[in-house]
Amino acid sequence: DAKTTQPTSMDCAEGRAANLPCNHSTISGNEYVYWYRQIHSQGPQYIIHGLKNNETNEMASLIITEDRKSSTLILPHATLRDTAVYYCIVRVAVLTGYALNFGKGTSLLVTP
Amino acid sequence: ETGVTQTPRHLVMGMTNKKSLKCEQHLGHNAMYWYKQSAKKPLELMFVYNFKEQTENNSVPSRFSPECPNSSHLFLHLHTLQPEDSALYLCASSTLSGGEETQYFGPGTRLLVL
């Protein structure tokens, strides 16, 4: 199972872009990179996922390096409501379902 | 998001009580999951159901008993729990279509065992 490494915490000023890095140097060719976030005591919220190409949706952009050993989640204009723990997860197959291995994530604090 | 709902949102129970947590998904998914999140610990997978069949039991004690009557509903029956079972219990669902599968989570049930 590919493991991920994220910084423990980050700060970002409101209105600025938040760039959250993730290292997954042992990722295999058919494993996807998923990003979730969890606001205190709530269920995790899906943000975005990708395999090789960069992806963008209404919430964020995902930049994956060409060698796929690392990625960056970009929140283009962070707001106070983006304060949460952000999890970078490499998908693991468990029979026909799959387990999301949530690590410790990055605690993002968006400040006024 | 209201795609996955969980009831109750908060539950306090004694060690001799029997209670059940309920999860319902309105997304047309065919796989459902129970996760446990203890204080300051990562989420842990407990059970996986695919098409109503349990396919994963992650060494969960028998005092936790899951039930999946159909692909939209998932229950977690609790009996003779211990205080260390106090945690946030999260339900998730996904579509099994091979390749890309995204899990969507409910808001969770905050359980306190006294």
Tell me: pLDDT of A97 over 90.
no
Residues of B in contact with A102 (CB under 8 A): 42-43
Span B62-79, pLDDT tens digits: 999 999 999 899 999 999
Give the distance from residue B26's alpha carbon to the nearest chain A alpha carbon, in angstroms: 16
User: H or E stretch including A110?
Assistant: strand A106-111
Contact (CB<8Å) B90/A44: yes
Tell me: pLDDT of B11 over 60.
yes
Span A60-93, pLDDT tens digits: 999 999 999 999 999 999 999 999 999 999 886 5
Q: Please, what is the average pLDDT of chain A?
A: 91
Q: DSSP assignment of A6-35, as one string? A: --SEEEEETTSPEEEEEE-TT--TT--EEE
Tell me: pLDDT of A95 over 50.
no
Beta-strand pair A106-111/A9-13: parallel
Q: DSSP assignment of A26-81, as one string? A: T--TT--EEEEEE-TTS--EEEEEESSS-EE-SS-EEEE-TTSSEEEEEETT--GG
Span B32-59, pLDDT tens digits: 999 999 987 889 999 988 877 777 777 8
Give the distance from residue A23's alpha carbon to the nearest chain B alpha carbon, in angstroms: 18
From B102, which residue of chain A is nearest by alpha-carbon distance?
A: A46
